[in-house]
Amino acid sequence: MSKEKNIQPQVDSKPKKESTSVLQAIRKRTGLLVGIVGLALVIFVLESLLGSGASIFGGNEMSSVGSINGKTIDRNEFLTKFENQLNVIRQQKQTNDIDEATRSQLLDYIWQQYIADMVIKPQYAKIGITVGEDEIYERVVAHPVPSVTQRLTDPKTGQVYEQLSAPDGSLDPVKLRSFVQNATGDQEMFIKQMEDDIKNMRFAEKYATLIRKGLYATTAEATAAFKAQNNKINFNYVIKKYESVSDSAAKVSAEEIKKFYNNNSYLFKNTETTRKIEYVSFDVLPSPSDVEAIAKDAQRAAEEFKGKSIREDSSFIAQESENGAINIQDMNKKNMIVRDSTIFTSAAGTVFGPYNEGAYFKVYKLQAINSIADSAKVRHILIGTNDPQTQQPKRSQEQAKKMADSLLVLIKEKKVSFDTLVKTISDDGGSKTNGGDYGWFDETKGFVEPFKNAGLKGTKGNISVVPTQFGYHIIEVLDVSKTRHNTYTVAQIFKLIAPSDETNQAIFGEASQFAGENNTAELFDKAVDAKKLTKRIGDNIKEGDRQLPGLDGAKDLINWVYTAKKGDVNIFTFTDKHVVAKVTSIKNKGILPLEDVKEEVEILAIKDKKAQLLLAEFNAKAGTSKNVEEIAAKLGLEAKKQEALPLSSHNVEGLGHDDILMGTAIGTKAGTTSKAIAGDNGVFVVSVISIEESTMPIDIKMQKMQLEQTMGGKADYEAFNALKEIANIEDHKSRVN
């Protein structure tokens, strides 16, 4: 911000040519800052978003957007909060445009406020946590915490706003106190928002600390953890896998399936409402006539390209290429991408193509033939735009250029030495110890092109200022090789091979006809089989999802899925395809009914029946034998040995993951053999040979500390989720359109 800008806010809502306050500049930052602190209380700081004049609710006339702790979140109340935020944004940005990503952020922000107010904050009152004004003042004014400093920092420069900064660029506490004491209107509201955010953070920190202080590891737990990590077990085992029994030999009746479900219903608990769809995709691809038309247009561009001068090339390329992309680069004989080898003998200005190269028709122009050194050696001073330590913005490109130009003058006038500036000014720490010199390099070196070209195309002794993505470099050419070679500056025009509107409409018509003729689940399935179409699946779709694998921007489809009935069919349009989808499964929160999980239940019931058959076989053939090799021989199986396996392992060599087998081995005394047990992969018998015990440390404080750190790290997240689960949250905010 310029020195002339006043710190007092302007309440006039009319557009201004200049920002007139620190507050306005601060609040024009885009996006939502989302922080999860302490207990994982979501503390949102809405700094700025884009505005919208669109209606936020579609045709859905539902009266709520969800419920928390049994209390319905009223649609109109939620809408009012949403509109209030949009009004603030409209005034800040003076625009009614808002994108989908920003809208979703705003919806999340408001919803998380409800969760914080109704789920998290009541816990503070229950246990008597308070936050005093002195704590807030300390963190906002006396010794501002990083989040406060961030709010008072210009995102464009990475520096504290000028009216609040000390000579060294840091936040000046005296100026901040004056700003707080004299704030009025919008400034006062802004400061109040910061104070509220800090207050919420302190509440969350204190609550999280209380939880962590209540967690500790006992000596027994630390000892067990040490043994699991360091002790090793040796055992023999024999296993007959479930896959050795055919499904036909373990058929289950409807009654057996129902019994298994009733006995194991906890396995089919759905923690979150989900949906499943099946769909077919009608991909929108360019037709032969589309390709022919694009080829003709590329040929026209090639002819016009021939008549353009180098000065005109960039604007012409931007005009003709996809998305206005300008692609001009230097190439050599090894990496040349133009398929015509005559480019190496052609004159500058020659145009090649168009060529059909998959997704594009491409036209190339040989702009120049350059003679460059095979290698060069330079030294440089970097005036960077980012801090080399934190990578946070340090100065603007304009500031970096002005500084580099000034230093170049001083160097050329010999008022300051290059070496001195490298040590004291350069933002490239990697070359400071070598006087800014990276040694000899050639064109294959991974430097950015402008940096390499300054040396390879330069002459010994030349000093210049060169811009790159990192800032501005003051580069001195120390030496160049005597040998040289040619490079070729090639300009490219890209013509996307895309379907025409007519092609898109034709494919949409095909998809619409399919959807209209096959508008039931039965007709949909029959048509897919008859037409040999590829049926895709979208599973575990949550109401708040916005994307599906292979389907970007699937909000409309997902919203429909959550209002449709099982078996409903509908058509949806995406950027590159039209999709006809069918709802195949609706899984609500809680224990799923048998009809929704029948296939899964049947698979598990068959596995359980195989386990019973194999257990009976073990008991019949092995009898009371305790020798693994003998049991294996009687069953026609191979006994296997596992050596030096850590007790904490979940995988058995040659078998894979099997927690039941590992748990059995660990729980079996050395020198003894287990009975036949149904594991994850099959029925097994395990015989423990020995356990290699590591020497216990005299003091296991370190082990206890590690356990407590692990528990503390999980506490915030798990406590937050536990509170949310108890609150029985129903989230339907995605229905806000």
What span, in angstroms and rounded, lies between the C-alpha atoms of 661 and 19?
Answer: 69
What's the mean pLDDT in 64-79? 88
Domain 232-270+595-692 has CATH 3.30.230: no
Q: Which pair of structure tokens corresponds to residue 31?
A: 């996006």
pTM of the model as a whole: 0.61
Q: Is 272 within 8 Å of 589 (Cβ atoms)?
A: yes
Q: Is 601 within 8 Å of 254 (Cβ atoms)?
A: no
Grade residue 156 by pLDDT with cuts at 50, 70 and 90: low
Name the CA radius of gyration of the chain, rounded: 35
Helix (H, G, I), strand (E, B) or coil at 270: strand
- Cβ contacts of 508 within 8 Å, gap of 6 or more: 282, 573, 578
Q: Express as a percent the part of the chain with pLDDT over 90.
A: 51
Detail the DSSP E strand segments found in 469-598.
Answer: 471-480, 484-496, 536-541, 569-573, 577-587, 590-591
What's the mean pLDDT in 102-119? 86
What's the mean pLDDT in 23-27? 39
Q: Is 269 within 8 Å of 681 (Cβ atoms)?
A: no
What's the mean pLDDT in 478-501? 94
CB atoms within 10 A of CB 469: 8
580 or 728, which is more confident? 580
What pLDDT, on a 0 to 100 scale, did the predictor assign at position 91? 64
The reply to whether omega before 9 is within 30° of 0 (cis) is no
What span, in angstroms and rounded, lies between the C-alpha atoms of 221 and 701?
Answer: 12
State pLDDT tens for residues 291-343: 999 999 999 999 999 999 999 999 999 999 998 999 998 888 888 999 899 99
What pLDDT, on a 0 to 100 scale, did the predictor assign at position 62? 56
What pLDDT, on a 0 to 100 scale, did the predictor assign at position 653? 84
What pLDDT, on a 0 to 100 scale, did the predictor assign at position 351? 96
Grade residue 89 by pLDDT with cuts at 50, 70 and 90: low
Q: Is 60 within 8 Å of 735 (Cβ atoms)?
A: yes
Closest by Cα among 553, 682, 343 to 664? 682
Mean pLDDT, the chain, as a whole number?
85
Q: Is 544 within 8 Å of 533 (Cβ atoms)?
A: no
Q: Express as a percent the part of the chain with pLDDT over 70.
A: 90
- Of 46-60, 151-165, 542-556, the poorest mean pLDDT is in 46-60
> Over 50: is that where the pLDDT of 580 sits?
yes
Grade residue 22 by pLDDT with cuts at 50, 70 and 90: very low
375-482: CATH number: 3.10.50.40
Closest by Cα among 516, 524, 517, 508 to 576? 508
Q: Which pair of structure tokens corresponds to residue 356?
A: 């059909």
Grade residue 449 by pLDDT with cuts at 50, 70 and 90: confident
State pLDDT tens for residues 241-288: 999 999 999 999 999 999 999 999 999 998 888 999 999 999 999 999
Determine the angle formed by the axes of helices 594-622 and 628-635, rounding to 10 degrees. Answer: 110
State pLDDT tens for residues 127-145: 899 999 999 999 999 899 9
State pLDDT tens for residues 648-699: 998 898 889 999 999 999 999 999 999 999 999 999 999 999 999 898 888 8
Grade residue 63 by pLDDT with cuts at 50, 70 and 90: confident
Q: Is 424 within 8 Å of 415 (Cβ atoms)?
A: no
What span, in angstroms and rounded, lies between the C-alpha atoms of 374 and 480?
Answer: 8
> Over 90: is that where the pLDDT of 350 sits?
yes
What pLDDT, on a 0 to 100 scale, did the predictor assign at position 691? 93
Q: Is 318 within 8 Å of 358 (Cβ atoms)?
A: no
Q: Which pair of structure tokens corresponds to residue 544?
A: 């708040």
What pLDDT, on a 0 to 100 scale, did the predictor assign at position 64? 82
- Of 31-45, 116-130, 260-274, 633-647, the poorest mean pLDDT is in 31-45
What span, in angstroms and rounded, lies between the C-alpha atoms of 703 and 680?
Answer: 31
Backbone phi, psi, residue 67, to 5°: -150, 150
What span, in angstroms and rounded, lies between the C-alpha atoms of 459 and 684?
Answer: 78
What pLDDT, on a 0 to 100 scale, did the predictor assign at position 737? 61
Closest by Cα among 54, 56, 50, 55 to 91? 50
> Over 80: is that where the pLDDT of 225 sits?
yes
What pLDDT, on a 0 to 100 scale, did the predictor assign at position 571? 97
